[in-house]
Structure 1
Amino acid sequence: MPMLTRAEIQRFPKAELHCHLDGSIRPHTLREIARGQGEMVHFNLMELTQKMVVSDDAKDLADYLRPFDFVLQYLQTEVALERAAYDVMEQAYQDGVKYIEIRFAPTLSTKKGLTIAQTINAVVKGIARAEATYDIYGNLLVCGMRTDQEAEVAKVFAESKDVNEKLVGVDLAGPEQVGFVDMYKAAFPMIVDGQKVRLTLHAGECGCADNVLAAIQAGSERIGHGIAAMGNETIEKAMLEKGICIEGCPTSNVQTHALPNHAAYPFQRWLKQGQALCINTNNRTASDTTLTEEYFQMAHHNDMTKEQLRQCNLNAINHSFANESIKTEVADLITNFERE
């Protein structure tokens, strides 16, 4: 059977669950935003792109996260956040994505006086404007930062509650250390109430396998990255038994040196075990990738078939935090597209 081409993957209707707003803005859009603020007047796109894309010599996750500080200084207004969200939605549509969950950390955009609610509503406004323009659905996940104290994270979650119906889930992001779940466990009930707003956690992005098990025990329905659980039969079994979906991000796992290369990604292992796995970009700009490219790497290095492409995207939409009508519509598209 011939390997799937980029064109075939791009045409395929896809769903994405793990995409960070601040890591996915296109350089020309950030330049527009900055110039609107009287900044970056003399930057050319090549210089700007170098500041926004992860360096080839990044040593670890902390190194990988460095470009975000540069971007975030320009995401401190409602106009900027709305424009950024519209841009990411537009990219996803062009990438053949039919449903996407965009995540961001509100506290990182409050440096010039915006409230948590204002940041959320601005991002939602950008998502909704793109939905009115393109054939794509979007929802929002709010991230607490693992660099903040538990009380600060709980405050963010509390202030996020009921702000907008497009806010469908919460997460914790940032540098990962062993035992972080217990440090923040008391913050989760602040927002997760009757499954209206649901929990997905970054866990096992670096070599912290125990964090994956702790996240599951804390009620996380999905695991962001989870690559540290690879080969750990106890944790893999727990994910399988609980019906946990892994939000896989292969390219960023290679860039943070959690994996040596794309061929080392446990794509076939997890799917053949029956594990719910979907593939994601994590950060389109910072990782210089698209969802089409992520799946192409799985086809090229991991023998992904068209039916596995279909299964991964069904996993994504079925484990998404979308409402049932969106889930049904997108799942039908994925199920029936070019069925052989």
Structure 2
Amino acid sequence: MILEEILKIIPKIDLHCHLSGSVRPETILEIALEEGISVPTNEINKFKSHVQVNDDCKSLKEYLTKFDFNLMVMQKAKHIERITYELLQDTAKENVKYIEIRFAPMLHMNQGLSFEEVVEAVIKGKEKGEKEFDIKSNLLLICMRHQSPEKSIEVVEKGAEYIDRGVVGVDLAGNEHDFEPTIHEEAFKLAKEKGLHRTVHAGETGIPENIIISVEKLFAERIGHGVYAYQNEKVLEYVKKNKIPLEQCLTSNVQTKAVSNFESHPIKTYLDQNIVVTVNTDNMTVSNTNLHKEYERLIEYQNFNFDDIKKVLLNSVEVAFIEKSEKEKLKLKVEKEINSIIKSQR
């Protein structure tokens, strides 16, 4: 069995997946028409260009414009629930066993939904999806860098009420060039006190120093992207020494021009240096990707072999924001399926 065929059956884990960036284009168009939202075309193939980037994408700023329609159709509870359910349906089909779905509740409150209604809608979609498909999921609530520290504290305080319903942590995302991580220091200190896990987007398109700041000041247990760690020797050594997990998203990093091409991405270098890296999708729709495609590109452009894939998967299990007993179950499930694949090769 060749490596590409193994990818179809190997168990997968996605720790960095944005809900609003992973909506089926067909669903976006359908809801937009239902809600009377003006769209440039009713033809799905033409519409896709408005919610997906292509190879000509020049920056993260341009990349983020593809979220506009997605967020417009995610302002009602029923639509948010449906979109969450469909994400689990789609990922389960490619043998994803565990996914952490992240979303910013504040971005779905533009038409009257309360914080609680947004979170409840995602939870309903999650619970329905888990019941119907062979997949486990948890939720991460995003605090936005450009919003006030008070908004982030509100996300943490209200989010902590849902710890027993699948909300396991918080994230900080947005423009890291204009908004320092420490603006939201108090919120993340509170998150730690309330038992919420912490991950922070840092070193995605520059400023590698934000990685250390996020760990030391925001108590980050994982770093979203961390692509630019290699540009600062002190940061790179810090990541190695402290075993800071990096949530790597190959395709989106190429599209946002965090790296110039697939070959120049540092993920394999990090892995070979025993840095804890995981492989993730970031935004399945905007990047037109899934975990299968991510691993395919790693094989093609980064010379990943089966041992590399296995290592990354077990890294993902190890750093997942799940309870110890659940982690052990997930680890056993992943190891069992991997060993079964190895056995079939003999």
Q: TM-score higher than 0.5 here?
A: yes
Residue of structure 2 equivalent to 1:135? 134
Aligned-residue offset at 1:36: 4.0
Letter in 2 for 1:31: L
Aligned-residue offset at 1:156: 2.1
Residue of structure 2 equivalent to 1:169? 169
Alignment check: 8 A CA contact 1:178 1:211 kept: no
Residue of structure 2 equivalent to 1:297? 297
Whether 1:59 aligns to 2:52 is: no
Residue of structure 2 equivalent to 1:93? 92
Q: What is the DSSP-based 3-state SS (H/G/I as helix, E as strand, rest coil) of the residue aligned with 1:111?
A: coil
Q: What is the DSSP-based 3-state SS (H/G/I as helix, E as strand, rest coil) of the residue aligned with 2:74?
A: coil
Q: How many Å separate the matches in 2 of 1:131 and 1:305? A: 31
Aligned-residue offset at 1:160: 1.6
Q: How many Å separate the matches in 1 of 2:193 and 2:147? A: 23
Q: How many Å separate the matches in 2 of 1:192 and 1:153? A: 13
| Aligned with residue 27 of structure 2, among 16, 19, 29 | 29
Aligned-residue offset at 1:205: 0.7
1:103-182 equivalences under 5 Å are: 103-165=102-164, 166-177=166-177, 180-182=180-182
Q: How many Å separate the matches in 2 of 1:240 and 1:125? A: 39
Aligned-residue offset at 1:179: 6.1
Aligned-residue offset at 1:40: 6.2
Q: How many Å separate the matches in 2 of 1:126 and 1:91? A: 13
Aligned-residue offset at 1:178: 6.0
Residue of structure 2 equivalent to 1:13? 11
Letter in 2 for 1:43: N
Letter in 2 for 1:169: G
Q: What is the DSSP-based 3-state SS (H/G/I as helix, E as strand, rest coil) of the residue aligned with 1:294?
A: helix
What is the RMSD of the two structures over their aligned residues, measured on CA atoms?
Answer: 1.8
Aligned-residue offset at 1:278: 0.5
Whether 1:317 aligns to 2:299 is: no
For structure 1, the 5+ residue unaligned runs are: none
Aligned-residue offset at 1:96: 1.6
Q: What is the DSSP-based 3-state SS (H/G/I as helix, E as strand, rest coil) of the residue aligned with 2:342?
A: coil
Alignment check: 8 A CA contact 1:61 1:175 kept: no
Q: What is the DSSP-based 3-state SS (H/G/I as helix, E as strand, rest coil) of the residue aligned with 1:117?
A: helix
Q: How many Å separate the matches in 2 of 1:306 and 1:40? A: 47
Alignment check: 8 A CA contact 2:146 2:179 kept: no
Q: Greater CA deviation, 174-183 or 308-317? A: 174-183
Residue of structure 1 equivalent to 2:69? 70
Whether 1:339 aligns to 2:337 is: no
Aligned-residue offset at 1:56: 3.5
Q: How many Å separate the matches in 1 of 2:223 and 2:2? A: 29
Give the number of equivalent residue pairs: 337
TM-score, normalization: structure 2? 0.92
Q: What is the DSSP-based 3-state SS (H/G/I as helix, E as strand, rest coil) of the residue aligned with 1:83?
A: helix
Q: How many Å separate the matches in 1 of 2:179 and 2:43? A: 43
Q: How many Å separate the matches in 2 of 1:3 and 1:149? A: 51
Q: Which structure features the higher share of helix residues? A: 2
Q: How many Å separate the matches in 2 of 1:86 and 1:35? A: 20
Change in Cα spacing, 1:61 to 1:3, as seen in structure 2 (3 Å) is farther
Residue of structure 2 equivalent to 1:271? 271
Q: What is the DSSP-based 3-state SS (H/G/I as helix, E as strand, rest coil) of the residue aligned with 2:274?
A: coil
TM-score, normalization: structure 1? 0.94
Residue of structure 2 equivalent to 1:102? 101
